[in-house]
Amino acid sequence: MPYLFTSESVSEGHPDKVADQISDAILDEYLRQDPTAKVACETLVTTDFALVAGEIKSTAHVDAEPIIREVIRRIGYNKPEYLFNADTCEVMNRLHEQSADINQGVERAVAEDQGAGDQGMMFGYATKETDNYMPLALDLSHRLLRELSAIRKAGQEMTYLRPDAKSQVTIRYADDNTPEAIETIVVSTQHDEFDASEETMLAQIKEDIINILIPRVKAQLGPEVQQLFTTDIKHHINPTGKFVIGGPHGDSGLTGRKIIVDTYGGKGAHGGGAFSGKDSSKVDRSAAYAARHIAKNLVAAGVADQVLVQVAYAIGVAQPVGVFVTTYGTTKAVGSTGEKLTDGQIAEKVQHLFDLRPYAIVQRLGLQNPIFAESAAYGHMGREAGTKQVQDAQGNTRTVETFTWEKLDYVDKIKAEFGL
């Protein structure tokens, strides 16, 4: 019997995402000046107020206030009527030095022996149902809001848009777990006051979402996904009605409250740790990226149609205490006698191929570079690997790789290991 699965996304102007972007922008500035900086930066935003707090160990000297204001301005909160304004909001900085007790568990005389910054378990997931190996419902939810933001910033159409928005997509799946159709699309967007009645206003927004936004997103997709956009889709556009009051004035925002939006939209699993504001010594972030890197390369290599990887650590210990893999019964790889490999056998091969000590992960994925602000909205996973120019504290410019955990650079090694 067909079943439904739903994922949501939130825009860069959502209060929790404002907080995430501030935390990662501050982290990036520390890493720009000092690649070995240890940073744990939390942000709170509310009506015309932003607070940063947390622990830092670094030789860098960072003035947080202009960074905070620039992030808010870039998102689009730059008008007094938003009651959260980059130029006028109060900013408070409560960053302080990292605990020596924590630091002694992380740093070692030999860099390769660096211990995990905390205990916990981290997950990575990949599926072949999209070109970027992400769950389809989440991928579409992110696309809707990225395009909505592009329309808002272009200022040519839907000129009433404000920064705060949410989306949600429900997919109907067949019994063989393949997508049959898009069942429901939900979009709630903050907007300016309208001169017209609320009924007329909502009708205009719904018409624009259906006739401007959704066709633009559909045009980005391949034919297999385009055919899922049937005339039977249920659209819920601003279903609560008027949405003028939003952003940090409508709801306070905190770093790390959108961990499912940041990862796989409820598919796979999540260990509970947030990403933004944390340097790569925190395995909450670095090991989650490593697990995604492994899962994506396994699926791309043809080991299985979908893969979940779990890695677990003890604080201060370099080697993971456990590595777990499940392929949900979709394994394609076989052993020397022709039988399908078990998930346990796949996990053994993963540990042979990938060094999962924190130091090795950081080096393999280039996680001491200031590359995290780009990840703080519209998902950390499923993004396109690329490059950017970075100027260090001495004024030297260099090129660094972004979203390195999305690279398919282990496919050939995996194929060789698995005999594919």
28 is in an annotated binding site: no
Task: Say if residue 257 carries a ligand binding annotation.
Answer: yes
The verdict on whether residue 42 carries a ligand-binding annotation is yes
Q: Is 16 among the annotated ligand-binding positions? A: yes
Please tell me whether 355 is known to bind a ligand: no
Q: Is residue 357 a known part of a binding site? A: no
Tokens, residue 249: 């004035």
Q: Decide if 68 contacts 75 (C-beta within 8 A).
A: no
On whether 17 is known to bind a ligand per the annotation, the reply is no
Is residue 55 a known part of a binding site? yes
Is residue 282 annotated as involved in ligand binding?
yes
Is 128 among the annotated ligand-binding positions? no
Q: At 186, which amino acid appears?
A: V
Please tell me whether 166 is known to bind a ligand: yes
Q: What is the identity of the amino acid at 412?
A: D
109, amino acid identity: A
CB 37 within 8 A of CB 58: yes
Annotated binding-site residue? 415: no
- The verdict on whether residue 165 carries a ligand-binding annotation is yes
Residue 98 among known ligand-binding residues: yes
Establish whether 195 is an annotated binding residue. no
Residues making up the binding site for Mg(2+): 16
Residues making up the binding site: 14, 16, 42, 55, 98, 164-166, 242-243, 251, 257-258, 274, 278, 282
Residues making up the binding site for ATP: 14, 164-166, 242-243, 251, 257-258, 274, 278
Residues making up the binding site for L-methionine: 55, 98, 251, 282
